[in-house]
A and B are shown apart, each in its own frame.
Chain A
Amino acid sequence: MSLRVWVGLNVRRLFVIYYVGHSGETGFSKRVEEIFRFSLGGAQSVGYKAHFEDAVVDGEAILSIWLTAPTDADLLTNPSEKLFWAQDIAMMTESYIRTALRNDLKINTRCLPGPL
């Protein structure tokens, strides 16, 4: 299996973007939001905000899951902050993959993830 994820860091704000292949069904966005309620809900406890947006990118229908989190101002100069956020993004991504697989979601999209 494979997955593509976009991660951005704007000094003290982190962005993580995953694309899920859109099934085309009505209410897909709400269903996916409910599927990830637990795994992304945990991420919200450390400050992430999750946003879901339907889109068509390079002809492919996707659902963009866009997460942002404020970090400490000294993230770039503080090793413990770096380790915390690197491992936290990895844990969130692991939970995302496992949850998607349990729910038969397509997480390997053709198009590259990024800001819409």
Chain B
Amino acid sequence: MAESEGRGFGVADSRLLIYLPGWAKWLSVVALLVLVCASVGSCLFFLTHQVHGDYIVFVISIAQSSVAALVFVIVLFFSRRDANIGTLIRQSDEFLRKHLRDALARITVPSLGVTGFQVRDGGSKDILGIYFCLSQIN
């Protein structure tokens, strides 16, 4: 059965992630920043120059929306939930080289009096793997 069949979307389901290259993310953030600055600047200008009418309501509405959108994209794009190929490769490396390595170091062999291992990262080998060399520390 296909993975996507038979169940709904979980909170952390990868199908809910947005896959965008880095340049597109930064472009979105910069565009929103420009919009925030322009709308807030316009608000301040209208308020300090006693300009009344529909313009100020419109500009305040734009400022509110763009600030909310900026916060949203920052949380979405730069949180650990973010995913693009570069990020996934970096997270794979982190899983193997940090989390797995730390766990392997805690292996014990009581029959030999081994209370832990020094785990050397032997480097990448083949397409997606790493070999580790475990040596007893005592």
Contacts and interface: CB of A to CB of B under 8 A. Distances in A.
A51 interface: no
B103 A86 contact: yes
A97 B131 contact: no
Contacts of B127: 8
Contacts of A115: 126, 129
Across the A-B interface, give the 4 residue pairs with the lowest CB-CB distance, nearest first. Answer: A8-B129, A90-B103, A76-B91, A86-B99
A4 B134 contact: yes
Interface string A74-86: 1111100011011
What secondary structure prevails in chain A residues at the interface with B? mixed
B12 interface: yes
Contacts of B103: 86-87, 89-90
Interface of A: 1-11, 15, 17, 73-78, 82-83, 85-87, 89-90, 93-94, 97-98, 101-102, 112-115
A34 B3 CA distance: 33
A7 B135 contact: no
B75 interface: no
Interface of B: 3, 10, 12-14, 17, 80-81, 83, 88, 91-92, 95-96, 99-100, 102-104, 106-109, 111-112, 114, 122, 125-136
A93 B106 CA distance: 11
Contacts of B132: 4-7
B95 A82 contact: yes
Given A1-B136, A76-B91, A77-B14, A9 B128 contact: yes
Contacts of A89: 100, 103-104
Contacts of B107: 90, 93-94, 97
B129 A6 contact: yes
Contacts of B112: 1, 101
Contacts of A97: 107, 109
A11 B99 contact: no
A37 B3 CA distance: 29
Contacts of B109: 1, 94, 97-98, 101
Nearest to A115: B126
Nearest to B10: A74
